Chains A and B, each alone.
Chain A
Amino acid sequence: MLGSILSQYARSLAVLAIFLLMVLVEVLDIRDAIYPGLESFFNWMNQSSWIGVIGTTYGSVYATVEALHLLSMAVLGGTVLATDLRLLGIIFKDVPSETLVTGTHKCFGWALLMAILTGIFCAAGVANKVYFMEVFWIKMLVLIAGSCFMLFIKQPLLTSRPHTQINPWTIRLVAVTSMLIWFTVAANGRWIGFS
């Protein structure tokens, strides 16, 4: 009985478990306990790791990698907007939403990988600064939550069956959430630059 429920609702139970884990982390002040210990790692990233040394020494290399980071974010944002605005029935109405969802996903995956790799380099160059920024940590939290939401929740749901068989309000909620996630990642990324 329990085994059948666990296998039948594995994804939903995983969401519940992650939510409860996050609540526990906050209630038990685990975040506050971990945070001070990370400062030495961020200082090492900035001053001793080879990416930190290259980032802080060669401005042209840093600028080039940052340009690649922004371009990958632009591609990522483009795939998200194309898919989610189609799911909301605003653009590309003549293209089946299933086609866009499957067609843009590979591009989204590569853009996300590129954004993360170039983002690590950019963060290493200013690691001793971003460690103290709340917006940096919020961006990281939303980036992780957003990536998991896209890869393990949104895409499996939207590729599981034709979209006419999914409740339209479920599709709308998923599309709006996805757009707000990537808006927050982009806005907080720019906020880091302004802080």
Chain B
Amino acid sequence: MNENGKIDDKTIAALSSAAIILGGLLYYWIGEGQSTVELLELAYGSFKFFNNPLVF
């Protein structure tokens, strides 16, 4: 906010760019997580933590 009580340029730019970048990165990482789960389900039939048959 500036002295007039308005949201200033730097704050709008920070909020909008942070929202776009954060949204994009969360979308990317959730997508990577989903594809990892699908890959594990394809390989072992179901997704469980520590379900690697080479370990147990």
Chain A interface size range: 20 to 34
Point out the residues of chain A lying under 8 angstroms from B17, CB to CB.
15, 149, 153
Contact between chains at A181 and B1 (CB < 8 Å): no
Q: Which of B18-26, B39-47, B48-56 contacts A (4 or more CB under 8 A)?
A: B18-26
Q: Known contacts being A8-B9, A19-B20, A167-B1, is A154 close to B25, with CB within 8 Å?
A: no
Residues of A contacting B20 in the complex (Cβ-Cβ under 8 angstroms) = 15, 19
Please give me the residue from chain A that is nearest to B20 by CB atom: A19
Which of A14, A180, A181 is B13 in contact with, Cβ under 8 Å?
A14
Residues of B with C-beta under 8 A to A157: 10-11, 13-14
Looking at B9, B22, B25, the one whose CB has the most chain A CB atoms below 10 A away is: B9
CA distance A19 to B28 in the complex (A): 17
Chain A CB within 10 A, most for which of B17, B19, B22, B28: B17
B37 at the interface (CB under 8 A from A): no
Q: Are the C-beta atoms of B21 and A181 separated by less than 8 Å?
A: yes
CA distance A166 to B17 in the complex (A): 16
Q: Is A174 in contact with chain B by the CB < 8 A criterion?
A: yes
Are A176 and B10 in contact, with the CB atoms below 8 A? no
Say whether B11 contacts A177, CB under 8 Å.
no
* B20–chain A nearest beta-carbon distance, Å: 6
CB–CB A177/B1 < 8 A:
no
Question: In the assembly, what is the distance between CA of A12 and CA of B20, in Å?
Answer: 13
Q: Are A9 and B12 in contact (CB under 8 A)?
A: yes
Interface residue ranges, A against B (CB under 8 Å): 8-12, 14-16, 19, 138, 142, 145-146, 149, 153-154, 156-157, 160, 165-167, 170, 173-174, 176-177, 180-181, 184
**Could you list 14 A-B pairs, sorted by A, with CB under 8 Å?**
A9-B9, A11-B10, A11-B13, A15-B13, A138-B28, A145-B21, A157-B10, A157-B14, A165-B1, A173-B19, A174-B14, A177-B22, A177-B25, A184-B28
